[in-house]
Amino acid sequence: MKDKRRRVVAMIVAVVLCASMVLGMAAAGLSAFLH
């Protein structure tokens, strides 16, 4: 039971990291495109 919860937490953390990285890249590209 604990292992499953840990796996879910790890998956959520990975998704959040990927999302933040993609958002950061999009923001950098948008700022470079605007300037």
Residue 18: both structure tokens together: 């990927």
Domains of the chain, residue spans:
1-35
> Using CA atoms, how far apart are residues 28 and 21, in angstroms rounded to an integer?
11
Residue 17: both structure tokens together: 């990291």
> pLDDT by residue (tens digit) across 1-35?
688 999 999 999 999 999 999 999 999 999 998 88
Look at residue 35 in the predicted model and tell me its pLDDT.
Answer: 80
> Using CA atoms, how far apart are residues 32 and 23, in angstroms rounded to an integer?
14
Look at residue 5 in the predicted model and tell me its pLDDT.
Answer: 93
- The half-sphere exposure of 2 on its side-chain side, counting CA atoms within 13 A, is 0
Look at residue 2 in the predicted model and tell me its pLDDT.
Answer: 80
